Structure 1
Amino acid sequence: MTDRNDSAEPEHAEERKRESPGRRSDPLSSLDPVAAYERRTSRIREEIARNRRGEYTVPTWVLAVALAAVIGLWVLVLFVL
């Protein structure tokens, strides 16, 4: 059985090659709606690829809310019930 990271790594390397380092140097590219759409879709595709490889992370605020809920339930059970 092959590891999923081995098969995904060459794809990731190709994605890096496609990005040209000089794309952000043009000041008008930030005003171009087509360029903005392309940047957004490429960021979304890259995030989906990272998540499929298992490189996803849980946002800090979600972890904080979960911790507060667990502590709140614990305090509720200990002191109220």
Structure 2
Amino acid sequence: MEPDRLRRKRDRIRAEIRRNREGGHRVPTWVLAAILALVLAGWLVLIVTS
């Protein structure tokens, strides 16, 4: 890649990392993990009881 494209790509990656580190997420990670656990548990219950 051209040096200009590499620099822009690197800048975009740095900006994304900075945004991720700042937080401000709409849904906390633990809520997403809990929802995933509930979905997997429900799926497992369906398999075991069928």
Aligned length: 41
Say if 2:45 is the partner of 1:77: yes
Specify which of 27, 47, 55 is matched with residue 16 of structure 2: 47
Per the alignment, residue 7 of structure 2 pairs with 38
The 2-side partners of 1:74 and 1:50 are apart by: 34
Which ranges of 4 or more aligned residues in structure 1 deviate by more than 4 Å?
A: none
The residue type paired with residue 39 of structure 1 is: R
Q: In structure 2, do the counterparts of structure 1 residues 75 and 53 end up closer, same or farther at CA, with 3 Å as the change threshold?
A: closer
Structure 2 gap segments, 5+ residues each: 27-31
TM-score by length of 2: 0.51
Q: Deviations over 1:14-70 (max 9, x none)?
A: xxxxxxxxxxxxxxxxxx61111011110011111111211457xxxxx7xx75x81
Q: What TM-score do the two structures reach when normalised by structure 1?
A: 0.35
RMSD, matched Cα: 3.3
> Which protein has greater RCO, CA pairs closer than 8 Å, 6+ apart?
1
The CA deviation at 1:75 is 3.6
Same amino acid, percent of matched pairs: 41
